[in-house]
Structure formats: structure tokens, C-alpha cells
Amino acid sequence: MAALVIAEHDGRQLKPGVTNAITAAIKMAGEDVHVLVAGHQCEAAAQAAAKVAGVKKVLHADAPHYAGAPAENMAALIVPMAGQYRHILAPATAFGKNIMPRVAGLLDVQQISDISAVESPDTFVRPIYAGNALATVQSSDGIKVLTVRTTAFDPAGEAASPAAIEKIAPGPDTGLTQFKGQELSKSERPELTAARIVVSGGRGVGSAENFKILEALADKLGAAVGASRAAVDSGFVPNDYQVGQTGKIVAPELYIAVGISGAIQHLAGMKDSKVIVAINKDAEAPIFAVADYWLVDDLFKAVPEMTKLL
């Protein structure tokens, strides 16, 4: 039986993470993966989904009441088609986390959240306790509803020829919520969860103004800028910069932690990065325990020096 991946998109293209979820779906169902692209005027996103390797069919539902992908309307669309699938999955992003438990509830299924590995079609590994433990769980439900930790799966490649796109009738508008709009942080930098390099700052950075030092380094490296919860709580940067158990989970090739002490909750969000660099003036900072390279130095001296050297 096929697997259905619920695509997160901006109308024009797929969000980073969707192709990783498709890789997870292939591990469950083989190359029999369908992708649902529901949105308002999202034809281009449907075409993008059709070009991903492993995708057999794209289902495209277009209606104004899918703008902002409200969980109520998305679930009302997904649930009637669920019987055709053994696995229904989405990336474990704010999008997937919002929609999928609603789908699971309506199907009377126990969702499996944030899986990091597929052991078999009914057995999955998922991090618990902020990644301090890994649980292997087996589902007895007929339909498996899952969200996928996108950093744990490689993105699926490009298909040799695009899959068929089937236009489907939109589901009902439940009218339960009204989408009023989004205020997205504007940045020229890559998205945090998709960036090859991330430069993150903590409480040690000291102020919003001082974050410019990190931004200069990030721009030199083509990196995204992240932050610890302490930096977010102190108001240095917006919440969507937050890397950690309660923020974003990242696993870039290079993670540079600046002025971050390394609270458990922060480590949970970045310790799967390939190479970790920590710069902190406190030689006892716990972040050094997970760092591949660590420098005990004043960040206000070290970071500009590094920017200059690159």
C-alpha cells in the first residue's frame, strides 16, 4: 500500500523538509509515495512535488480555505482519503505538528511523533526526553500517522520524469478558524533548518546589537543565524531563531555555538550536527563536551577575527 506525504509549501515551492519526509515514506512503502499538495493557488508547488524522486502521484487540492493550511480544513481533506494508505506522514515542523495529531484523532490512531529512523513498516525510532533517550516503538494501528524529524533523513533527489498530478476536489471549509495572515521574518540568509552552516548565539552575546557580530560571520559563511533559548528569552532575537528541544532541531554540516553555555535543552536541538564548534570564554561550559573544536576566548574578539580570516 502507498504512503501519503502531506506537503508543506509556500504555493510556489516545497518547504525544506518535505523531500526528507518523502525519503522516510520510501523506507516505509517503497517507491509508492503519493504527495498531497493542498493550498490556495499552489499549482507550482504541486509541480515541484511531482519532480521529487520516489513520488508516484501528486494530489493537488486548491481552494481559498487552505491558505495558511489550517489544521481543521487540512484534516477534513486528509481523513476521507486515509483508507487508501498504510502510512500518512508530514515533516515534524510547526506545520506537521499542528495538522497530524488532528488527523490521528479523527482516525482513532495513536500518532508516532518525530521519528528519526524506520526499522520496519510498523516499527520506528523516536527521540524522547529532548533526545536524551531513543525509543523504539511498534504501532498496532492499521494506518500509521507519523511526523518525521527531517534532519534524520536525507532529502529525496530529483525524478528522471515528473509524476502525474491529479487534481482533487477540495474538502469542506469547516469555518472553525479564520486565517488572518503571517508575519514572516525577512532574511537573505538560508532557512535555519535547511542551512549547511549555522552560527548561533547565546546569552553571552549580550544584546540584539551584538548579534550583528554573528551575522557578519554568518554572511561570510553563507550561514543561517540561530540562538539559544536564553538569547531569545532575553529578547536579543525573535523566537523563530531558537534552536533546541522547544525550538528548531537542526543538523547542519557545521554548527558554530557562540557564547552558548550548552543547556540540555539547547544541545537537544543541535547535537546531531556533523561538526560542532564552540566559542566561549568560560572554560567549564558544558557545550565543550559536545564540540569537535572548542576555543576558550572572548567572543567579541574571536568572532570578528574569524570573519576577517575567512
Partner 1 sequence: MKVLVTVKRVIDPYVKVRVKSDGTGVETANVKMTMNPFCEIAVEQAVRMKEAGVVSEIVAVSIGVPQCQETLRTAMAMGADRGILVETDADVQPLAVAKLLRKIVEKESPKLVIMGKQAIDDDSNQCGQTLAALLNWPQATFTSSITVSGDTADVTREIDGGLEKLTVKLPAVMTTDLRLNEPRYVTLPNIMKAKKKPLEVVKPDALGVDITPRLKTLKVQEPPKRSAGVKVADVQELVAKLKNEARVI
**Angle between helix 94-107 and helix 71-78 axes, rounded to 10 deg:** 50
278 bridge partner residues: 257, 294
Using the rule CB under 8 A, give the single segment among 42-50, 57-65, 154-162, 264-272 that binds partner 1.
264-272
d(CA 293, CA 200): 15
Nearer to partner 1 by C-beta: 50 or 197?
197
Choices 28-36, 165-173, 207-215, 290-298 (CB under 8 A): range interacting with partner 1: 290-298
Judged by CB under 8 A, the chain residues 98 through 157 that form the site for partner 1 are 98-106, 108-114, 123, 127-141
Q: CB of 227 within 8 A of CB of 202?
A: yes
Cα separation, 15 vs 290, in Å, equals 29
The 3 state secondary structure assigned to 264-276 is HHHHHHHCCCCEE
Stretch binding partner 1 (CB under 8 A), from 37-45, 69-77, 155-163, 201-209: 69-77
Judged by beta carbon, residue 145 or residue 163, the one nearer partner 1 is 145
Angle of CA points 66, 68, 74, to nearest 5°: 45
Please identify, among the stretches 39-47, 162-170, 207-215, 288-296, the one whose residues bind partner 1 according to the rule CB under 8 A: 288-296
Contact 113, 147 (CB under 8 A): yes
Q: Contact, 257 vs 264, CB < 8 A? A: no
CB 141, min distance to partner 1, A: 5
Choice between 32 and 240, CB closer to partner 1:
240
CB of 166 to partner 1, least distance (A): 26
Shortest reach from residue 162's CB to partner 1, in Å: 27
Residue closer to partner 1 (CB basis): 135 or 164: 135
Q: Which of 28, 88, 218, 276 binds partner 1 (CB under 8 A)?
A: 276
The answer to whether 298 contacts partner 1 (rule: CB under 8 A) is no
Cα 265 from Cα 93, distance rounded (Å): 17
- What nine digits make up the cell of 251? 543538523
- In the bound state with partner 1, the residue whose beta carbon lies nearer, of 132 and 166, is 132
Among 13, 121, 159, 179, binds partner 1 (CB under 8 A): 179
CB closer to partner 1 out of 46 and 291: 291
Residue 64's nearest CA partner among 39, 31, 96 is 39
- For 9, 56, 118, 144, the CA distances from 17, given in Å and listed in that order, are 10, 18, 16, 19
Residue ranges in 203-262 that form contacts with partner 1 under rule CB under 8 A: 221, 229, 232-233, 238-240, 242, 245-246, 248, 253-254
User: For residues 84 and 185, which CB has a smaller minimum distance to partner 1 in the complex?
Assistant: 185
Which residues between 76 and 95 bind partner 1 (CB under 8 A)?
93-95
Q: What is the DSSP letter of 244?
A: S
